[in-house]
Structure 1
Amino acid sequence: METSTLPGNGFPSSTAGSPVENQRFEINHFCEKQEIVVNRWIEETVSGSKNIEERQLGKLLKKMKKDDILICSELSRLGRNLLMIMGVLNECMNRDIKVWTIKDNYRLGSDINSKVLAFAFGLSAEIERNLISQRTKEALARKKAEGVILGRPVGRKSAKTKLTGQEKKIKELLDKRVSHSAIARILGVHRLTVAKFVKERMVERSDGLKVLK
């Protein structure tokens, strides 16, 4: 590490109607003033449905080490909800990864105040998880009490599978007498998945060719 500079990791993230260019400009301007060298840039559109491991941010955190700095425009850019944000901050604090934000002016690091915050973040995330679980259970219990049948009706098959949309390609391969195992390798699925799909979605003609039901 050079004495006049600090290594940083820029993380602009966007939501609908919120381009990353503005955040990147803010982070660049901030880093120039603070004499921070940005080693890596990670840009993403935050999805509420993704786990942290599946996000670009999760991949970045795996590469970061103690005393590295994660720089973002504001804490809200770390996730779409409180649970996601608290989880990211808790991991950073526990691993002594510093989190700096520009608009919020947070400087979270390895000091005692940050350790206290890490505990609070972890506790908040746990409470949020429990509340979500409890609300889900209560909603399901209410639906059940109202006579609503939960889940897929018995005997009904899922309308969408891993091979949905691949019918034409599967038919072409079957017409060429390609085996289920070979089709599975081509499409990146298990052999039994192909066999089940063919059995449920296709019928065999008298000439031996497969056609869609």
Structure 2
Amino acid sequence: MIYGYIRVSTDKQTVENQRFEINNFCKNENINIDIWIEETISGTKKVGERKLGKLLKTLDNNDILICSELSRLGRSMFMIMSILNLCMDKGVKVWTIKDNYRLGDDLTSKVLAFAFGLSAEIERDLISRRTKEALAKKKTDGIKLGRPIGSKSKNLKLSGKEKYIQNQLKNKVSKVHLAKKLKVSRSTLFNFIKENNLDTFT
């Protein structure tokens, strides 16, 4: 399948110029677009929030994605490289017209794939390092890290039991006895009841 992808950032911009460029290119290459994907959205938006994200999930080996230029895929170089890397992993060819770019199964593409992978690894390493530095600073500043005490127990043991607890309270079952039945501390049960307004009948 051959896909034509068109993106503009605002309603004031027209898709016709990009469509003309792609159609003219296809005419010279003696190929036809099977499916057009058009969207009006900023290139800074996450790929998953765009039609492009849905398209990338459906693309198969040997499919071709054509757009007027690489900047239509995204605004940041890292985003573009991530998209191209995904396409390469799936065996999808990406052709752009203005950049005269061809991503396929050749030596140049393999070199680019290595660069994409290295770039992604460096980015992940930088994110991990920044996260560790931020956590270390918080610890130095005396800020306690992790969940507040008791929050895990409430979420795991009482979540989804609101109706049961409310019925028990309605039937005059004491909170102390109910806490024992649910195998949680009294304070955990009391806080859960208060936070979820379950003591209407008490």
Q: TM-score range by the shorter chain?
A: 0.5 to 0.7
> 1:38 is matched by which residue type in structure 2?
I
Give TM-score scaled by structure 1 length.
0.58
Asked if 1:84 corresponds to 2:75, the answer is no
Unaligned runs of 5+ residues in structure 2 are 153-165, 167-190
Shift in Å, 1:124: 1.1
2:10 corresponds to which of 10, 16, 19: 19
The question of whether the paired residues in 2 share the 8 Å contact of 1:10 and 1:42 is answered with yes
**Quick one: structure 1 residues 66 and 21, their matched pair in 2 at CA, closer, same or farther if it must change by over 3 Å?**
farther
Shift in Å, 1:29: 0.9
The question of whether the paired residues in 2 share the 8 Å contact of 1:20 and 1:43 is answered with no
Secondary structure in structure 2 of the residue aligned to 1:203: coil
Root-mean-square deviation (Å): 3.8
Identity of aligned residues (%): 54
The question of whether the paired residues in 1 share the 8 Å contact of 2:64 and 2:92 is answered with yes
2:104 corresponds to which of 102, 109, 118: 109
Q: Which residue of 2 aligns with 1:189?
A: none
> 1:114 is matched by which residue type in structure 2?
S
Unaligned runs of 5+ residues in structure 1 are 1-6, 158-173, 175-195, 209-213
The question of whether the paired residues in 1 share the 8 Å contact of 2:6 and 2:67 is answered with yes
> 1:128 is matched by which residue type in structure 2?
E
Secondary structure in structure 2 of the residue aligned to 1:67: coil
Higher helix fraction (1 or 2): 2
Secondary structure in structure 1 of the residue aligned to 2:15: helix
The question of whether the paired residues in 2 share the 8 Å contact of 1:23 and 1:73 is answered with no
Shift in Å, 1:48: 6.4
Q: Residues of 2 paired with 1:81 and 1:28: CA distance?
A: 23
Secondary structure in structure 2 of the residue aligned to 1:42: strand
Asked if 1:127 corresponds to 2:122, the answer is yes
Shift in Å, 1:198: 7.5
Give TM-score scaled by structure 2 length.
0.61
The question of whether the paired residues in 2 share the 8 Å contact of 1:100 and 1:108 is answered with yes
Q: Residues of 2 paired with 1:104 and 1:23: CA distance?
A: 20
Shift in Å, 1:89: 0.8
> 1:105 is matched by which residue type in structure 2?
N
**Quick one: structure 1 residues 47 and 77, their matched pair in 2 at CA, closer, same or farther if it must change by over 3 Å?**
closer
In our comparison, the structure showing a higher alpha carbon Rg is 2
Q: Which residue of 2 aligns with 1:149?
A: 144
Shift in Å, 1:86: 2.1
Shift in Å, 1:117: 0.9
Asked if 1:66 corresponds to 2:61, the answer is yes
Greater RCO, 1 or 2 (C-alpha within 8 Å, sep 6+):
2
Secondary structure in structure 1 of the residue aligned to 2:144: coil
1:18-54 deviations in Å (ceiling 9; x for gaps): 227747323311222122422223345368685x567
**Stretch of structure 1 that moved more, 86-95 or 56-65:** 56-65
Count matched residues: 163
The question of whether the paired residues in 2 share the 8 Å contact of 1:100 and 1:106 is answered with yes
1:117-174 deviations in Å (ceiling 9; x for gaps): 11211121111111111111112212221223335544579xxxxxxxxxxxxxxxx9
Shift in Å, 1:60: 1.5
**Quick one: structure 1 residues 63 and 151, their matched pair in 2 at CA, closer, same or farther if it must change by over 3 Å?**
same
Q: Which residue of 1 aligns with 2:23?
A: 32
